[in-house]
């Protein structure tokens, strides 16, 4: 049975890619054939091979199936802004069917497909659609990444409610320490555990050095998904 997950965050820059790479590593250790998917990415660079996004490259590296870049990231933009803005500016509409075609292709190659969103839950893809609309259409269970810092509790609860109000399963959440643990870190974590009904899959500590060789999978417990 193919396991498909959508990773969203409480905001941008909360560590969705770090968490997605950790999930891919943990799933590989559990024996799954893994594929990461970043269907839409902005904030990319032009290379001799074409447009490349750093987050998508990280997912490609951490997939244990050999994937072409375009399979990981079919829609890429250079400017680091909301996808609907740069899409309209460049006259390149983001078609939800393109996202679905890419997802279906990866499901033929892997039995664990990790989909990473862009920004937060309601990131617009056009004037009339958001990333959430596509996730609902695909009925993907959601994993929430919480960047642990001041304000994260409210953002986490609001995002969790939005996911559940859309009729989707909030399958779990990951705490990502985006800064060194502060004075109230223990209280923040205790409150998040109490207010989020989904299981905590793990906490990724603040890492001052993070590169492509960093081992992350051991921070997570996938037993809620594999039992």
Residues annotated as catalytic (active site), given as ranges: 38
Instruction: Give just the sign of the alpha carbon dihedral 204, 178, 114, 164.
Output: positive
Q: Using the CB atoms, write b or e for 56-66: b if 16+ within 10 Å.
A: bbbbbebbbbe
Please report which helix (H) or strand (E) contains residue 116, including its range. strand 112-120
- Three-state SS at 174: strand
CA 188 to CA 182: how far, in whole Å? 10
CB atoms within 10 A of CB 6: 27
Q: Are 111 and 105 in contact (CB under 8 A)?
A: no
Torsions phi, psi of 118, nearest 5? -125, 130
Residue 161, C-beta contacts closer than 8 angstroms, at least 6 positions apart: none
Instruction: Please list the residues that pair with 158 across neighbouring strands.
Output: none
């Amino acid at each position: 049975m193919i396991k498909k997950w959508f990773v969203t965050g409480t905001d941008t820059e909360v560590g969705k890619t770090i968490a997605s790479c950790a999930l891919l590593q943990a799933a590989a250790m559990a024996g799954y054939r893994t594929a990461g998917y970043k269907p839409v990415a902005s904030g990319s660079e032009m290379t001799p091979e074409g447009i490349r996004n750093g987050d998508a490259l990280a997912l490609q590296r951490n997939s244990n199936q050999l994937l072409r870049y375009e399979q990981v990231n079919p829609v890429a933009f250079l400017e680091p802004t909301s996808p609907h803005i740069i899409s309209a500016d460049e006259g390149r509409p983001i078609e939800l069917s393109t996202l679905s075609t890419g997802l279906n292709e990866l499901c033929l190659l892997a039995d664990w497909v990790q989909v990473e969103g862009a920004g937060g839950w309601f990131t617009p893809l056009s004037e009339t659609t958001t990333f959430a609309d596509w996730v609902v259409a695909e009925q993907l269970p959601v994993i929430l990444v919480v960047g642990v810092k001041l304000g994260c509790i409210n953002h986490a609860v609001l995002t969790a409610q939005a996911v559940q109000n859309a009729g989707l399963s909030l399958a779990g959440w990951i705490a990502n320490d985006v800064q060194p643990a502060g004075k109230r870190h223990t209280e923040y974590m205790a409150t998040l555990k109490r207010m989020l009904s989904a299981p905590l899959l793990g906490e990724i500590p603040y890492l001052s050095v993070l590169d492509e060789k960093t081992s992350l999978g051991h921070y997570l417990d996938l037993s809620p998904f594999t039992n």
